[in-house]
Amino acid sequence: MKAKAVIFDMDGTILNSLEDIAISSNIVLKEFNFPTHKIEDYKNFVGGGVQILLDNCTPKDISQELYKKVFERFKEVYENNVHNRTKPYEGIYELLKELKRREIKMGILSNKMHDFTLKYYEKFFMDFNMQEVHGQKSHIPKKPDPMGATLIAKSFNLEPSQILFVGDSDVDMQTAKAAGMISVGVAWGFRGIEELIEHGANHIVKTPIDILNLLE
């Protein structure tokens, strides 16, 4: 069946945001006198939303009260640094322009907080008129739960099997499988090809433009 829509993960898939996430996190960790981490370490900390990020980079024995303070402070710091170094990966704009030209429906489903997801979209992708843009919301389970992806499929009025779900992590491949979509792993992302294959990627693409071949 020919694919008629594409749902993208955000961080590590269409945007290289790792440095801003790492810098913001380390600023907060320093403020609370916690150990900081190398930027490369954050590749394995992200993907599950802010809570998983902070679970991974903060000490395991901090109190719930202190954790809440760290959480709120991270949101403040990250909001101020959200666009400083973040940029689309090479070839992403060319891909999106062609998808728009072909009238392929597009969406974003991220575990990033919804407000931040919208800010990124408005900053970098408004010109492409994506029909559905969703970050983490309190009333919808995070990926790899398929609910968010399934709701997007319904809004597109398409069967899940007609949709490419493009991401860079195990979470994305698991989401695609659970939703019944075609899972596409990107070789340029945070996690690497081995993780994508291990978690059932139907396809691996080396460049953004390669995604066009999966529509034909």
| Residue 82's pLDDT band (cuts 50, 70, 90) | low
The domain boundary residue, chosen from 39, 62, 81: 81
Domain containing residue 203: CATH number: 3.40.50.1000
Residues 154 and 58 in one domain: no
Give burial (CB, 10 Å; 0-12/13-18/19+) of 38.
exposed
The domain boundary residue, chosen from 47, 81, 115: 81
Whether the predicted pLDDT of 1 surpasses 60: no
CA distance 115 to 127: 19
- pLDDT score recorded for residue 63: 92
Query: Which residue is it, tokens 């090479």?
Result: 90
- Considering Cα of 133, then 137, then 139, then 141, what sign does the dihedral take? positive
Compute the mean pLDDT over every residue in the chain, rounded to the nearest whole number.
94
Whether the predicted pLDDT of 83 surpasses 70: no
| Residue 81's pLDDT band (cuts 50, 70, 90) | low
Residues whose CB is less than 8 angstroms from the CB of residue 173 and which lie 6 or more positions away in sequence, other chains included = 167, 183, 185, 196, 199, 200, 201
Whether the predicted pLDDT of 162 surpasses 60: yes
Residues 129 and 34 in one domain: no
- pLDDT score recorded for residue 79: 84
Domain range for 76 is: 17-81
> How many structural domains is the chain composed of?
2
Percentage of the chain lying above the pLDDT 90 cut: 85
Query: Which residue is it, tokens 């294959």?
Result: 197
pLDDT digits (tens, 9 = 90+) for 98-150: 999 999 999 999 999 999 899 999 999 999 989 999 999 999 999 999 999 99
CA distance 27 to 71: 13
Element (H, E) at 176: helix 170-179
Mean pLDDT of 76-99: 90
Q: Comparing 173 with 50, which gets the higher pLDDT?
A: 173
